[in-house]
Amino acid sequence: MSSSKQESFPKSKRSEVMSRIRSRGNKDTEIALAKLFRRQRITGWRRHLEIRGRARSPLRAVARTTGAHGVTRPTFRVRPDFVFPKSRLAVFVDGCFWHGCPRHATKPKNNRAFWRRKFSRNKARDLFVNRELRKLGWRVIRIWECSLQRRPMNCLRRIRQAIAVEVTQRRTEARRLRAFAGAERAAAKARFEQELLGAA
């Protein structure tokens, strides 16, 4: 993505152009990942599903809502690019330009201060979103636009692993619960038999 195009626009036009570039760039990468999922038979995902929670930071991801007792309390909302609700996994595809990929982060020559602020805000927001999601018990995977292009199978492996771990964990927990229920039942049966013996 070249920055020279945006620099020729006046300031008022710039943000409009930027948001258009951003949405289109991201969309292409998202569509590429969705195609890959379908081709590789990865299921259980939805796009842009909203995840909510409470958060403390006053970043843009936070919308102020009124609580039950009229107390203003911040609510965290985010729509990850892909959400695997059952595995509690959120996947983001990050454009190299906007999110500052270490390989391809270009630094536009004009309006340096503007861009520096813009990029650092984007990065801060990404970190904030990661942290909040993890606090809510979500797994977060971020995929660089360029990694998806160069090594799609590596990206896919990370996602598969995250899903597999979750499934294994759930199975282990379910087994533990079942074992516990079985032990409880056995103890209750023993108690009942004791009582019967006592009554006889």
Cα–Cα distance for residue pair 194/60, rounded to 1 Å: 64
Of the pair 1, 146, the CB lying nearest Zn ion is at 146
* 149: three-class secondary structure by DSSP: helix
Cα–Cα distance for residue pair 156/40, rounded to 1 Å: 9
Lookup result for tokens 């970043």: 59
For helices 11-39 and 152-199, give the axis angle rounded to 10 degrees: 60
Q: Least CB distance from residue 177 to Zn ion, whole Å?
A: 44
Does 32 help bind Zn ion (rule: CB under 5 A)? Answer: no
* 77: three-class secondary structure by DSSP: strand
Choose the stretch contacting Zn ion; rule: CB under 5 A; options: 38-46, 82-90, 101-109, 184-192. 101-109
Per-residue three-class SS string for 23-76: HHHHHHHHHHHHHHHHHCCCCCCEECCCEEEECCCCCCCEEEEECCCCCEEEEE
Does 96 help bind Zn ion (rule: CB under 5 A)? Answer: yes
Choose the stretch contacting Zn ion; rule: CB under 5 A; options: 1-9, 10-18, 36-44, 97-105. 97-105
Among 13, 79, 104, 109, binds Zn ion (CB under 5 A): 104
Of the pair 3, 57, the CB lying nearest Zn ion is at 3
Of the pair 25, 53, the CB lying nearest Zn ion is at 25
Does 103 help bind Zn ion (rule: CB under 5 A)? Answer: yes
Does 176 help bind Zn ion (rule: CB under 5 A)? Answer: no
Of the pair 41, 103, the CB lying nearest Zn ion is at 103
Note the residues at the interface with Zn ion (CB under 5 A): 96, 101, 103-104, 144, 146
